[in-house]
Amino acid sequence: MKSHFIREIGEMENTHWWHRTKRELISNIVRKQVGENEKKLKILEIGAGTGMLIKEFAHDSITFALDRNKSALALCKINGIEHIIRADFGTYEDYKKNYFDIIVAGDVLEHLEDDMAAVRKVFSMLKKGGLFVIHVPADPKLFSYWDRALSHFRRYEKKELERLLKKNKFNISFISYRLSALHPFVSFFRKIKSNKNQTEESSDFDHLGIMNEPLYRFTKFEDTLILSKRIKPKTGLSLFAIAQKK
């Protein structure tokens, strides 16, 4: 990812509805596991970016942030992450097997050319019974200028992510699309921008003004319904999953 996008994301993570809801969704999943354990868990965030997520567990867990971007890791240090690892996870080999209790990859797998090898590596790094929490962009038909700007290789279908996890011996505890209600609007928006010959420098992180808070509240509500299994979206802008090492 280009450095100016790292800075832009860092500036907006506390306010932009998409970043807030994704971070809170993953945080709630991880927090449940941390709260159920008396000992300090070892938690690794791959592609930690600015460290806004992993820092939430710094006081009651042993936290690790891995990222290849120097600017991102500088922000991780500012955010108080205990262990900083500068590496490209796709080629990262200096790791301990059966070491981590939880590994988080929030919008990371799409950046790795060989996602199968990456998931296999995560499995090796986790302790038996350890959790892998994943969030990825969904629907290959939405692949656009913005994906290229963020150095994405792909977007995922649900069956594709399920197959990726199962082939690497993970037991899938939960998997679902999210941001389903917004899917048709974003699809239309992307088509319009595509027709305007957007460049790879174009950003989707527009300041939404008065719409930011309503989008945050609506998405939080949808995420609550998904986690409680009251709705099962058939499509969406993103996919998330909770998988366990058998």
Q: What is 3-245's CATH superfamily?
A: Vaccinia Virus protein VP39 (3.40.50.150)
Q: What is the pLDDT of residue 156?
A: 98
Q: What is the pTM of this model?
A: 0.90
Note whether 172 and 166 are within 8 A (CB): yes
Question: What residue ranges do the domains of the chain occupy?
Answer: 3-245
- Determine the 3-state secondary structure of 204 from DSSP: coil
Question: Percent of the chain having pLDDT more than 70?
Answer: 89
* pLDDT higher than threshold 60 for residue 186: yes
Of 98-102, 111-115, 186-190, 230-234, least confident by mean pLDDT is 186-190
Strand partners of residue 170: 245
Q: Could you give the angle at the alpha carbon of 29 between the alpha carbons of 87 and 213, nearest 5°? A: 95
Q: What is the pLDDT of residue 80?
A: 86
CA dihedral 76, 106, 133, 51 (to 10 degrees): 10
Q: What is the pLDDT of residues 201-220, one digit of tens each?
A: 445 545 578 899 999 999 99
Question: Percent of the chain having pLDDT more than 90?
Answer: 67
More confident residue, 143 or 191: 143
More confident residue, 186 or 201: 186
Q: What is the pLDDT of residues 15-50, one digit of tens each?
A: 889 999 999 999 999 998 888 887 899 999 999 988
* pLDDT higher than threshold 70 for residue 8: no
Distance of alpha carbon 224 from alpha carbon 241, whole angstroms: 15
More confident residue, 38 or 129: 129
Q: What is the pLDDT of residue 198?
A: 54
Residue written as token pair 């200096």: 94
